[in-house]
Structure formats: structure tokens, C-alpha cells
Structure 1
């Protein structure tokens, strides 16, 4: 069994906006997102911002049990099927809330 899986959940690159969402799975799940470009500057006043959604070890186990996911690859496949796309983080947050899976969400702006 692998110790860690890292994969890209979403990537968008345009003239005015770049978005990357990456998932890291080991004993916990970390979703990292970064958006930057002129559109972000217009909306937020900052050129970019980053955000993290973290599901701790206990809630990662709960997540896996809820969907009968037995391996990192099963969990990766589930994330890609259910949460890919530009609204993936919102889908993950809704899924967690509906299933009483706790997570932390933080935003960082420069």
C-alpha cells in the first residue's frame, strides 16, 4: 500500500485566471487551491489567494468507511469522479457537511 497519494483535481489556465486544485491523501486529506490573475485582482484587490481544506485522520477514516473505500486509489478515484471541476471544493464541503465529516477551511491572501 502506498504511503501518500497526490493528484490534481482541477486546473484552469486562461488569459485572466489560473486555478489549480490539488489533493494530498495520507493519514489525512488536504485539498490545496490557488487562484490568481487579473480577475482575482478585480474581485479581491489581491493578485492571488490560496486556500486549504483539511480533513483530519479520524474524519478521513470516517470518509473512507462511509463510502466503503479500502485503499488510497479508491479514495482518489472517488474524489475525481465526485469532486472534479471548478466547484469541486464546494462539492467536498457540502458532502462533508451532509455526512457530519468535520473539516477545517482556511484562506490566505497576499
Structure 2
């Protein structure tokens, strides 16, 4: 083994052996996932506002992705007990931290363009 290889930190979970980086990339693997989270960086949005903000996303895809993000603890779903029965979506602290990582990826992509 070279000295460089010794310095590389394992990305595997020490208990399960699974790769958490691979898991989050799987969760975000669709083309709309990062765009949904980016929209929510500005604050809470309702379902219809999200469909209008993201060109080409179907209601089914948006619904499925929001459910997955909620299960992952990235977003919070808040029913609004109003006449329209709207639901608001916002980032959790975990989701907000992930968006910070996305900002770093954006900076990296611009630097190495």
C-alpha cells in the first residue's frame, strides 16, 4: 500500500459497513431531488408552489420525492388547517445542512468547469 492510500479515510459506516455517501446519492439520484431542496432554501413552500417552481416535474414524482425526503428527515411536512387544506414543506436542520454541502458542490463545479 502506498502512503497516500493509508491517509484515505473510509466512507463505510463502522457498524454496518454500508456507505452513507452512496445512500444519500441514491436518495438524491433523480434529476428533481436537488432542485426541490434548493427551492426550499428560500423558506416554506406549498405543493402547488413547488410544482410551479420546478419545470417538467409531475405531481406523482414530486409527491414521491417529498415523501422520501420526509422519511429521510430532510424536510418537514406541515398541514395548514385552512379552507384549501394546503400543506407546507420546509427544510429541517438536516436538510439545511445538506443544502450547505450542495453549495460547496456548486462552488466546486464552477471552479473546475
TM-score band (shorter)? under 0.3
TM-score scaled to structure 2, two decimals? Answer: 0.25
Higher-helix-fraction structure: 2
Which of 1 and 2 has higher RCO (CA within 8 Å, sep 6+)?
A: 1
Higher-strand-fraction structure: 1
TM-score scaled to structure 1, two decimals? Answer: 0.26
Work out which of the two has the higher radius of gyration on C-alpha atoms and give 1 or 2: 2
